[in-house]
Amino acid sequence: MKRNQVSAVVIARDEENEIADCLTSIITAVPDEIIVVVDDRTIDTTCEKARQFTEKVYLVNGVRGKLRNYGWQIARNEIVCFIDADMRIPRDYFEKIIPVRFASGTKDGEK
């Protein structure tokens, strides 16, 4: 996998008990990739905990789709994965999805 080929956009809201495990699982899978956390009006310590893993932590007021779009605009790598803050991804998560993307025979959204 090429360096910085994947961006992980993590959507969160009041996930202080989950965010560290989520971000640790992403870093374990691909330590050199870009992680963006987009938080929706958190009133707990989610943002502070997320900043221990990435400087790309943004507070955005809106519905989940708006948060995902915001994160995608920042991430803009070849592959962008959307992950909820309460998820844990397996070590081989990105290794499995990258071949699927390139096996499709499409490039840059072509059909």
What does the pLDDT look like over 77-100, one tens digit per residue?
888 899 999 999 999 888 777 766
Instruction: Give me the pLDDT at residue 110, please.
Output: 53
Is residue 3 predicted with pLDDT exceeding 70? no
CB atoms within 10 A of CB 99: 10
| pLDDT number for residue 33 | 78
**Residue 77: its pLDDT value, please?**
80
Sign of CA dihedral 108, 24, 46, 52: negative
Nearest to 27 by CA among 80, 88, 71, 82: 88
Q: Tokens for 52?
A: 């221990």
Residue 106, pLDDT score? 55
